[in-house]
A and B are shown apart, each in its own frame.
Chain A
Amino acid sequence: MSGKTKTTKTESVPGGFLVLGFHVPVRRASAAAASSPAFAPNAFIRIGQDETVTLAVNKSEMGQGVFTALPMLICEELEADWGKVQVASASSMAKDYRHTSWGVQGTGGSSSVASEWDRLRRVGAAAREMLVSAAAATFAADRSECRAENGAVIHVPTGRRLTYGQLVEKASEMEPPKNVALKQPKDFKLIGKPTHRLDTPEKTDGSALFGLDVSIPGMLTALIARSPVFGGKLKSFNAQKAKTLPGVVDAFEIPSGVAVIADSFWSARKGRDALELTWDEGEGGKLSTDALREQYAQLARTPGTVARQDGNAAEAFAKAAKQLSAEYDVPYLAHAPMEPLNCVVDLRDESCEIWTGTQAQTMDQRRAAAITGLKPDQVKINTMYLGGGFGRRGSKTSDFVSEAAHVARALRKPVKVMWTREDDIRGGYYRPLWHDRIEAGLDASGHPVAWRHTIVGQSILVGSRYEASMVEGGIDETSVEGAADLPYSIPNIQVELHTPSLPVTTLWWRSVGHSHTAFVVESFLDELAHAAGRDPFEFRRALLGSAPRHLKVLELAAEKAGWGEALPAGRGRGIAVHKSFDSYVAQVAEVSVADGKVKVHRVVCAVDCGMTVNPDTVAAQMESGIVFGLSAALYGAITLKDGRVEQSNFKNYPILRMGEMPEVQVHIVPSREEPSGIGEPGVPPIAPAVANAVFMATGVRIRRLPINAEVLKKP
């Protein structure tokens, strides 16, 4: 082919309306597709006469595998042909799509499978019962003689068979059953079997559509110039020069800064660079993380709010045969999902349609409605694939959707608000910076008798819309999780919390509080083991008598890693175990240290997450959590100087690369317990496992992350 090809938007962007097609919710699809009748007994299932089974997923797919695991739950009971299952991303419009315990649609807390485990299997079972009833009526046979299997109902005595597609009309006339019996786990055909992900093919040919890929007719592109410091306010701006640049359409103030509107990303970026801005920096301009760490360390020596008190830790510590204390520091961290934040808004007089990758549909919908002056049910959110979430896309303020709504309200044209990588890294909503002070006493036989842990760091929840429901007695549960629930049998335990208030915005970052408490608790426990002259694995074992699931993963990881076996010269092995999101994970890391750098050679991981839905996804999420946690342990740090974030992009906020990838082995504990979290629990143990391995290899105790050359220096 040759010659000129038109490159106007409407003709050259094939994705534009395919987006709509894919994201039409199941309910509307059944209403709209009048020419093709379908059996759509609820908001989750639509079976067509062509045998296609479309299942709506009410959770955001950000890599954790919900577009496969949740359909597996429905399909297990529906007895559909798995090979005919298609997935649709649920829109924000139906209340049925809300989280079973949060009351709003959203994805987080590693809760998708655990919370949908019962509901979606019932959804599938109810539809199956209606299909069986429809078949029995058609066969003029008793229901008890009919069995659903692989997308068809069979009349067992005669072998007659009707496919689900053939039953569409009749099944639609059936009453949904009031009660359904669910299968026993021993009868599962799909649940628990390694299953290929349904979203893999479209993620290998570029056709998977992320928020950033959305294009709608007449759409303009916006970039926002935000305050260079936290809490800064715009004093004045001059956009004259910016507006003369080719492609720049407009520039105006919104609450978070100045929006530059252009016909393309490149024009918008040049336009933003040309803005003249003055800010009132306020207190935010004085912040420095070095100073903060010192303030936090001072605070840690004063009494805090008590989060746990067993016995009398102060008294037991004073009387202990051996006393140890240590202080640990971990920095602010950015989520840095590979897809920078973005949001497309099409605001009309009576409606607002939004396309974005979000973990918080209903809250975003409400915020967008409030900003645009519409009712929430006039705002529709289409959830695209998320190019990573890790918590950032479940914004506690709906910040990236709110900004886009403000831009759309002023612009009154379809618009895509984009974030550059620099905007993302410097944009706040970080994992908080934490300082921990911890003391313990050992008795004469080396058994710990006292444990005092003081935690200092900003609350994610205080001051947010979630404070009333999630902060109790001054304790933000997410600040102390993983510390206040210390599983080790120690008679005297005290955990205290200080919650300083700062303008730096914070947010849940994959594994939330556990991302720091596991590092502190499991590192210090290792210190105690060495002080007691005990093997760190045996020391933990002896203290986990009342924590059998911790013990099981600990022993499995140690066994598979060859704990106690000789290592090549220069290598060290470290172990850690941690419970988060009701799952139990132990990891053994093998490391060496050279030239001020840690090399992680191998990680052996054992996980107990109850019953597994898709074991291959469980393994993938462990691999993923380990890499995510390693990036933080080895490199991750957001630092502030004169209020400014010193990092800007992957060159100074590095993440693990292929050449640094350790060999990761995952072992799953067989279990009949209810399913628990899997997206986050792989993260917490890796930092302490590596830090403890570094100690074995070098004798240097790691009490600050990331483990850089400075931290690795012998004291």
Chain B
Amino acid sequence: MAGNLVTINFSVNRRNYTVDVAADTPLLWVLRERLGLTGTKYGCGIAQCGACTVLVDGAAIRSCVTPVSSVVGKEITTIEGLSADRSHPLQKAWIDEDVPQCGYCQSGQIMAAAALLARKKEPSDADIDAAMSGILCRCGTYQRIRRAIHRAAAISGKGGTT
């Protein structure tokens, strides 16, 4: 049944990978099980919770419903690739505000926020609601996420590293 496997080339966190995999495998499982990038989480499998959010060519997508065959040749950024040393303004802000509780959804939250900040330097509360309502947090950290995004925008505005 090896005929079902295809060879896929793509880039994750600025590093190229070639993986032999069933073409319909969601990107999420390739990241987690084949590349060992477990920062991206499984929460629902049907694009309802956003725990699996990563950037594909800069846009936030749900990797649990994205067949790996659809990202051939694309640049993927996961939480592990956001910065080498937690220096991204969002990571700094997240730490300052002590956002995470259980922490499971936070990779998805931060990646969705990264896509938002990349296109909107000073997002309003309404922008945050629109960009972040797809990412569920069962611990209820939304209020702190909102504060942290505003804080990260302020850090970026002052020339914080990205």
On whether the beta carbons of A339 and B140 are closer than 8 Å, the reply is no
In the assembled complex, B63 has its CB within 8 A of some CB on chain A: no
Shortest CB distance B51–A (Å)? 6
Complex interface: chain B residues within 8 A of A663 (CB): 143
Q: Which A residue sits closest to B15, measured CB to CB?
A: A1
- B51 CB contacts on chain A under 8 angstroms: 338
Given A204-B110, A620-B98; A388-B138 close (CB under 8 Å): yes
B45 touches A5 (CB 8 A): no
Contact partners of B143 in chain A: CB under 8 A: 623, 661, 663-664
In the complex, A631→B37 CA distance in Å? 31
With A5-B16, A339-B104 known to touch, is A616 a contact of B98 (CB < 8 Å)? Answer: yes
CB neighbours of A208 from chain B (8 A): 103
Cβ of B133 under 8 Å from chain A: yes
Chain A residues 1-35 with CB under 8 Å of chain B are 1-5, 7, 12-15
Give per-residue flags for A649-660: 1 if the beta carbon is below 8 A from chain B beta carbons, else 0.
111000111111
Q: B72 — which chain A residues lie within 8 A by C-beta? A: none
Complex-state Cα separation, A207 to B144, whole angstroms: 21
Shortest B135–chain A CB gap in Å is: 7
**Are B48 and A340 in contact, CB atoms less than 8 angstroms apart?**
no
Size class of A's contact patch? 35 or more
User: Could you say which of A264, A387, A616 contacts B41, with CB atoms under 8 Å apart?
Assistant: A387
State in angstroms the CA–CA spacing of A261 and B21 once bound together: 18
CA distance A624 to B18 in the complex (A): 42
Least distance between B78 CB and chain A CB atoms (Å): 7
A63 touches B139 (CB 8 A): yes
Chain A residue at minimum C-beta to C-beta distance from B3? A246
Residues of B within 8 A of A264 (CB): 25, 29, 33
Cβ-defined contact, A199 with B41, below 8 A: no
Taken residue by residue from 65 to 97, chain B's Cβ proximity to chain A (1 for < 8 Å, 0 otherwise) reads as: 000000000000011101100100011001100
Q: Are B41 and A338 in contact (CB under 8 A)?
A: yes
Contacts of B156 in A (CB 8 A): none
Min CB distance A240 to B, Å, is 14
Asked if B61 is at the interface (CB within 8 A of a chain A CB), the reply is: no
Which of A210-218, A316-324, A554-562 contacts the other chain?
Answer: A210-218
Which A residues are CB-close (under 8 A) to B34?
Answer: 7, 12
- B43 at the A interface (CB under 8 A): yes
Measured CA separation A246–B25 after assembly (Å): 12
B55 interface residue per 8 A CB criterion: no
Q: How many contacting A-B pairs (Cβ < 8 A)?
A: 212
Q: Which residue of A lies closest to B18 (CB)?
A: A4
The DSSP consensus for interface residues of chain A is loop
Would you give the 0/1 interface string for B1-23, flagging 1 where the beta carbon is closer than 8 Å to chain A? 11011000000001111111010
Which listed residue (A210, A265, A649, A659) contacts B48, Cβ 8 A? A649
B38, B83, B136: the one contacting A655 at CB < 8 Å is B136
- The complex places the Cα of A15 from the Cα of B145 at a distance, in Å, of 27
Is A212 a contact of B136 with CB atoms below 8 Å? Answer: no
A62-B102, A246-B5, A388-B139 given as contacts; is B107 within 8 A of A206 (CB)? Answer: yes
Nearest Cβ on chain B to A262's Cβ, whole angstroms: 11
One of B106, B140, B145 near A628 (C-beta < 8 A):
B140
- Does A624 contact B139, Cβ atoms closer than 8 Å? yes
| Chain B positions 118-160 with a Cβ under 8 Å from a chain A Cβ | 128-130, 132-146
Known: A205-B91, A338-B137. A212 touches B41 (CB 8 A): yes
Q: Known: A196-B98, A197-B98, A420-B45. Contact between A210 and B2, CB under 8 A?
A: no
Q: Which residues of B contact A199 (CB under 8 A)?
A: 100, 103
Number of B residues, CB within 8 Å of A: 73
- Does A244 lie within 8 Å of B138, measured CB to CB? no
Asked if A482 is at the interface (CB within 8 A of a chain B CB), the reply is: no
Which parts of A262-307 form the interface with B (CB within 8 Å)?
264-267
From B17, B145, B146, give the contact of A5 (CB < 8 A): B17
Q: Do residues B140 and A627 form an inter-chain contact, with CB atoms below 8 A?
A: yes
Chain B residue nearest to A651 (CB atoms) is B48
Q: Is A200 an interface residue (CB 8 A)?
A: yes
Chain B residues closer than 8 Å to A103, beta-carbon distance: none
A536 at the interface (CB under 8 A from B): no
List, in ascending order, chain B residues with CB within 8 A of A15's CB: 36, 38
Contact between A650 and B98, CB atoms less than 8 A apart: no
Task: Confirm or deny: A65 has a beta carbon within 8 angstroms of a beta carbon on chain B.
Answer: yes
Complex interface residues of chain A between 397 and 419 (CB less than 8 A to chain B): none
How many Å from the CB of A532 to the closest CB on chain B? Answer: 35
Q: Given that A2-B16, A659-B133 are known contacts, is A338 also in contact with B43, CB under 8 Å in the complex?
A: yes
Name, among A339, A655, A660, the residue most crowded by chain B CB atoms within 10 Å (CB to CB).
A339
Residues of A within 8 A of B145 (CB): 658
Would you call A266 and B22 a contact (CB within 8 A)? yes
B132 contact from A1, A5, A420, A658, Cβ within 8 A: A658
Contact among B38, B86, B105 with A204 in the assembled complex (CB-CB below 8 Å): B86
Bound form: Cα–Cα A390–B142 in Å? 18
Is the CB–CB distance between A661 and B41 below 8 Å? Answer: no
**Interface pair A13/B36, CB less than 8 Å apart:** yes
Shortest CB distance B45–A (Å) = 6
Q: How far is the CA of A265 from the CA of B128 in the complex (A)?
A: 33
Contact of B86 among A201, A210, A267, A650 (CB under 8 A): A201
Any B CB within 8 A of the CB of A508:
no
Tell me which of B103, B105, B130 contacts A385 (CB under 8 A): B103
For A512-535 the 0/1 string (1 means CB < 8 A from B) is 000000000000000000000000
Report whether B139 and A209 are in contact in the complex, using a CB–CB cutoff of 8 Å.
no
Across-interface contacts of A659 in B (CB, < 8 A): 129-130, 132-133
The minimal Cβ–Cβ distance linking B43 to chain A, given in whole angstroms, is 5
- The reply to whether A620 and B101 contact each other, CB–CB distance below 8 Å, is yes
Q: Is the CB of B135 within 8 A of A339?
A: no
Q: Does A366 sit at the interface, judged by CB under 8 A?
A: no
B146 interface neighbour in A196, A215, A340, A661, Cβ under 8 Å: A661
> Is residue A691 within 8 Å, beta carbon to beta carbon, of the partner chain?
no
The 8 Å CB contact of B91, one of A7, A12, A204, is A204
Contacts of A40 in B (CB 8 A): none
**A245→B34 CA distance, assembly (Å):** 19
B91: A residues at CB distance < 8 A: 204-205
A308 at interface by CB-CB < 8 Å? no
- Asked if residues A246 and B102 are in contact (CB atoms below 8 Å), the reply is no
Partner of A624, one of B15, B101, B104, B132: B101
Residue of B nearest to A682 (CB): B140
Q: Which residues of the other chain, A, contact B45 by a CB distance below 8 angstroms?
A: 420-421, 649
Residue in chain A with minimal CB distance to B100: A203
Asked if A606 is at the interface of the complex by the 8 Å CB criterion, the answer is no
Contact A203 B106, beta carbon cutoff 8 Å: yes
B18 close to A246 (CB less than 8 A): no
Given A266-B26, A388-B104, A649-B38 contact (CB < 8 Å): no
Give Cα A65 to B43, complex, Å. 22
Note all chain B residues with C-beta closer than 8 A to A245: 1
Q: A206, B38: Cβ atoms under 8 Å?
A: yes
A487 contacts the other chain (Cβ, under 8 Å)? Answer: no
Q: Quick check: is B58 within 8 A (CB to CB) of the other chain?
A: no
A206 touches B78 (CB 8 A): yes
Contacts of B140 in A (CB 8 A): 623-628, 656, 661
A620 with B1, Cβ < 8 A, contacts A338-B49, A338-B105, A388-B104 known: no
Task: Give the 8 A-B CB pairs with smallest separation, nearest first.
Answer: A206-B39, A627-B140, A387-B104, A63-B101, A203-B103, A63-B102, A13-B36, A206-B79
5 additional contacts, CB 8 Å, given A658-B128, A659-B129? A206-B80, A264-B33, A389-B102, A651-B48, A663-B143
- Could you list some 8 contacts between A and B, CB below 8 A? A12-B35, A196-B95, A204-B110, A338-B136, A421-B44, A421-B45, A624-B101, A658-B132
